[in-house]
Amino acid sequence: GPSMAQVLQAGLSDDLAKLSFMNSVITTVFSVPGCRVTRCGYTGEDGVEISVPAGRAVELAERLLGVPEVWPAGLAARDSLRLEAGLCLYGNDIDETTTPAEAGLLWTLGKRRRAAMDFPGAAIIMAQVKEKPKRKRVGLTCAHGRGGGWGRRPPLTSVPTSPGTVTSGCPSPSLGKNIAMGYVAAAHSRAGTALTVEVRKKQQPALVTKMPFVPTQYYTAK
């Protein structure tokens, strides 16, 4: 969150300003040595994930919760934040049937691996890179109804065909409207395309929207 760096630095033996996004360091956190602090997260905000020696996990958690600015958050809070940031949930938005080209995750494939084609599924994935996938992951906004039922793969329709499914969805506290992501036929994937989504057996208008829905705040060390 916005206060993460200030709160953590007070109990960190290393300079957090030198730790860039997706980098990690083994350090002491609030007097607990041997912790790996990785500057990443699943909320779209500047954050860290801390791996701690198992025998001192409770101790560190209690010390962190003793800081006035630190509050525990549940799964629903995490899910709304990651969805606002356009981040995938495995099992919902990506699985064994999804390719990086379809999911918009080609940044995970480095130049060397693309050239060598030495990874599982390389032939299919690189063919999609060249020819473009038939379906794409997109963001959706829906101003009406409630979004809680969007997580059960309801259909997306665009008369007269059904081009895809919703894979995740929820009300967005930041935007005051329902947001979702799903897969649609490539022809329907352009931002601004009007679709219809089925929510609890009711049809609601939805709009293909660029992601992230809320700007991310990842940190890059200077």
| pLDDT tens column, 56-69 | 999 999 999 999 99
Split at pLDDT 50, 70, 90, the class of 156 is: low
Query: Is it the case that residue 184 has pLDDT exceeding 90?
Result: yes
Query: Is it the case that residue 144 has pLDDT exceeding 90?
Result: no
Split at pLDDT 50, 70, 90, the class of 145 is: low
Split at pLDDT 50, 70, 90, the class of 143 is: confident
Task: Give the pLDDT of residue 161.
Answer: 60
Mean pLDDT within 69-90: 95
Task: Give the pLDDT of residue 198.
Answer: 82
Structure tokens at 122: 């390389």
Amino acid identity, position 34: G
Query: Is it the case that residue 147 has pLDDT exceeding 80?
Result: no
**Is the CA virtual torsion 112, 117, 120, 124 positive or negative?**
positive
DSSP 3-state of 106: helix
Which residue ranges make up each domain of the chain? Answer: 4-65, 86-209
User: For the domain 86-209, what is the CATH code?
Assistant: 2.40.30.110
Task: Give the pLDDT of residue 154.
Answer: 54
Task: Give the pLDDT of residue 222.
Answer: 64
Query: Is it the case that residue 162 has pLDDT exceeding 70?
Result: no
Say whether pTM exceeds 0.85. Answer: yes
Q: Tell me what percent of the residues of the chain surpass a pLDDT of 70.
A: 91
Split at pLDDT 50, 70, 90, the class of 1 is: confident
Mean pLDDT within 165-175: 93
Query: Is it the case that residue 151 has pLDDT exceeding 50?
Result: no
Mean pLDDT within 140-155: 62
Selection from 138, 142, 151, 143 nearest residue 188 by Cα: 138
**Contact at 8 Å (CB) between 185 and 164?**
yes
Task: Give the pLDDT of residue 159.
Answer: 47
**pLDDT averaged over every residue in the chain:** 91
Task: Give the pLDDT of residue 27.
Answer: 98
Selection from 151, 164, 147, 154 nearest residue 208 by Cα: 164
Query: Is it the case that residue 149 has pLDDT exceeding 70?
Result: no
The torsion angle over the Cα atoms of residues 41, 184, 134 and 209, rounded to 10 degrees, is -60
The C-alpha angle 143, 148, 152, rounded to 5 degrees, equals 115
Task: Give the pLDDT of residue 152.
Answer: 47
